[in-house]
Amino acid sequence: MTNWCSNGYKPNQTWPGEVRLASGLAGGLRVYVDQQVFDTVGDISDPQIRTLIQNAIHEWESR
């Protein structure tokens, strides 16, 4: 299987915590990282997770 985003993330790669994506109240994206909740991707404190999600969004939008 090939990588689905440009940062080298593979679908079977795991993170030490939990990362979930959901729809926000206003229809935007809401990101859950362990016990933290972020209303924008730019607010994610972990730079590796933030970059992963940004790259995935760019990949999705380019299709």
- Which mean pLDDT values do the consecutive 10-residue runs of the chain (63 residues) have? 46 72 87 92 91 90 90
* Tokens 């080298």, located at residue: 8
pLDDT at 27: 85
> Which phi and psi (to 5°) does residue 36 adopt?
-100, 150
pLDDT at 32: 93
As beta bridge partners, residue 47 has none
pTM across the whole model: 0.66
pLDDT at 28: 86
